Amino acid sequence: MRLSKLRADVLALLFLLPFLIVYVLYTIWPMIKGVEMTFYKWTLIRKMSYIGLDNYKRLLQDSEVWAAIWHSTIFVILTTPTMVVLAIVLALIANRKSRLQKLYRSVFFIPSVLSVAVASFLGLFIFQPYMGFVNTFLHLLNLLPQDSEIFWLSETWLSWIAVSVITLWWTVGFNFILYLSAMQEIPDEIYEAARLDGANDWQVFWRITLPHLSPITKTITMLQIISSFKVFLQIYIITGGGPLDKTRPIIQLIYQTGFRKNDLGYAATMSYVVFIILLVLSAIQYWVNNRKGEHA
């Protein structure tokens, strides 16, 4: 666009101003303010006293914090591979020509539009003993003896499974759509050539489809790791972080420390640990994406 220098600067500023105002006020400024908070005893009511590095020292020795980070990590480990594999399987189903093709696409994605609170409470009731959907369904198929019940939310590992299954059900739709559109971009000629050479479905999938999906798989995997690490509400509602805080993720601990224990300074300090972890993950993601760009 041809503009005089001064005019360009003034116009650009006007166009950028609304964004810059909200961006600086609600993203950049809190980032900076947060650093200050970590050096103080800081409650919900007011700034109390300067305590230097005490919050940091406390953090390093706080086993609750590291346990919570570990729980978030467990959730990442449980959900990332399953999310990726299930999304590929669903995309394969919805990519096959059939009368139900459109229906499959809608059905696999519908849970993703539900509110996190709805998905979580649905999950909570689905996994209840006696009347919940899963146990009554297992009884119906005789997979579970009629007189026994599985208490999904009273044991740590069963709780992890329940929370992971619900999350999978609720959010796999996003990855599914990404895979589906990636699959539709693979040129038909490649498939036809493979068929002419006598390749079967299995070979076509491993030799053609999957290699073509590898760039998007890298992106999806990294995005999934980042979003799984930020898990909070599903676990908070379904297990409450229990049994015995054994499934409590780090974001829940930050919330409880800040708002239940009235210690915003320490909660802010924990936030920076999360920030550093996510920053490293994002940096890896950026690097992976850019490498993809070079090859493409």
Partner 1 sequence: MKWIYRLLSLIAALFFLAPIVWMLVVSIKKEGMKIVTLVDWFTPPYSFAVYEEVLSTTKLSNWTLNSFMVAVCVTILTVAVAALASFALSKIPFRYRSFIFFFVLAGLLIPGEATIIPLYQVAKDMDILNSYQGLILPALASPVAVIVLKSFFDGIPNELIESVQIDGGGTWRIFTSIMLPLTRPALASMAILTFIGSWNNFLWPFLSVTDDNLFTLPMGIPTLMNQYSEDYVKPMVINTIASIPIILLFLVFERQIVKGISLSGIKG
**Site residues (CB under 8 A) for partner 1, limited to 12-31:** 12-13, 15-16, 18-20, 22-23, 25-31
Secondary element (H or E) of residue 75? helix 63-95
Shortest spacing between CB 33 and partner 1, in angstroms: 4
Residue 160 interacting with partner 1 (CB under 8 A): no
Applying CB under 8 A, which part among 7-15, 75-83, 191-199, 238-246 lies near partner 1? 7-15
Contact residue for partner 1 among 50, 70, 157, 275 (CB under 8 A): 275
Q: By the 8 A CB rule, do 79 and 167 touch? A: yes
Query: E-assigned strands of the chain?
Result: 40-42, 47-50
- Give backbone dihedrals phi and psi of 50, rounded to 5 degrees, phi first: -70, 130
Sequence-distant (6+) residues with CB within 8 A of 139 are 146
Residue 121 token pair: 């409470």
Shortest spacing between CB 180 and partner 1, in angstroms: 8
How many Cα atoms occupy the beta-carbon half-sphere of 224 within 13 Å? 29
Contact residue for partner 1 among 77, 111, 129, 144 (CB under 8 A): 111
**Site residues (CB under 8 A) for partner 1, limited to 179-238:** 180-181, 201, 216, 219-220, 223, 226, 230, 232-233, 237
DSSP 143: S
Q: How far apart are CA 87 and CA 194, in angstroms?
A: 24
- Scanning the structure block, which residue is given the tokens 């959907």? 133
Shortest spacing between CB 172 and partner 1, in angstroms: 9
Residue 114 interacting with partner 1 (CB under 8 A): yes
Instruction: Output the CA torsion 47→26→113→177 (10° steps).
Output: -130
Contact residue for partner 1 among 33, 57, 261, 291 (CB under 8 A): 33
Shortest spacing between CB 197 and partner 1, in angstroms: 19
- With H, G, I as helix, E, B as strand and everything else as coil, classify residue 42: strand
Choice between 14 and 196, CB closer to partner 1: 14
Applying CB under 8 A, which part among 57-65, 106-114, 187-195, 238-246 lies near partner 1? 106-114
**Site residues (CB under 8 A) for partner 1, limited to 44-103:** 89-90, 93, 96, 98, 100, 103
Applying CB under 8 A, which part among 55-63, 148-156, 205-213, 276-284 lies near partner 1? 276-284
Number of other residues whose CB lies within 10 A of the CB of residue 48: 13
Shortest spacing between CB 255 and partner 1, in angstroms: 7
Q: How far apart are CA 277 and CA 227, in angstroms?
A: 12
Shortest spacing between CB 241 and partner 1, in angstroms: 14
Shortest spacing between CB 32 and partner 1, in angstroms: 8
Q: By the 8 A CB rule, do 243 and 155 touch? A: yes
Query: Could you give the string, one character per residue 115-144, with x where binding to partner 1 holds by CB under 8 A and - elsewhere?
Result: xxxx--xx--xx---xx-x--xx-xx----
Residue 163 interacting with partner 1 (CB under 8 A): no
Contact residue for partner 1 among 75, 104, 152, 160 (CB under 8 A): 104
Q: How far apart are CA 164 and CA 138, in angstroms?
A: 19
Shortest spacing between CB 53 and partner 1, in angstroms: 18
Q: How far apart are CA 144 and CA 140, in angstroms?
A: 8
Q: How far apart are CA 87 and CA 76, in angstroms?
A: 16
